[in-house]
């Protein structure tokens, strides 16, 4: 049975988010962070990881990660941590 997608409200000024950022925000919300905090944390972390540029657009690395399924991202993380 597929997971029910929780609709993510648009950010301030009607801003929408990249799917990879949406999933990060939703995970932070589930941990109890406020929407504003979740957006700020996800944005700063994705920039730190090199997935978002300073302007908030996806980098090449970000586009590659976004095109992967969640299982593929998990596998890539596990492979990287074993090195």
8 found inside a domain:
no
2 found inside a domain:
no
The residue written with tokens 């929780």 in the block is 6
In this predicted structure, what is the pLDDT of residue 5? 55
Confidence of residue 37 (pLDDT cuts 50, 70, 90): very high
Give the chain's domain count.
1
Q: Is 52 exposed, middle or buried (0-12, 13-18, 19+ CB in 10 A)?
A: buried
Least confident range of 1-5, 28-32, 70-74 = 1-5
pLDDT exceeds 90 at position 20: no
Domain range for 45: 15-82
30 found inside a domain:
yes
4 found inside a domain:
no
């Amino acid at each position: 049975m597929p997971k029910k997608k929780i609709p993510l409200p648009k950010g301030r000024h009607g801003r929408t988010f990249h799917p990879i950022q949406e999933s990060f925000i939703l995970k932070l919300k589930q941990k109890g962070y406020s929407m504003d905090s979740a957006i700020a944390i996800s944005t700063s972390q994705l920039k730190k990881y090199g997935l978002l540029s300073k302007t908030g657009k996806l980098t090449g690395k970000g586009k590659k990660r976004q095109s992967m399924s969640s299982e593929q991202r998990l596998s890539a993380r596990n492979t990287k941590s074993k090195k």
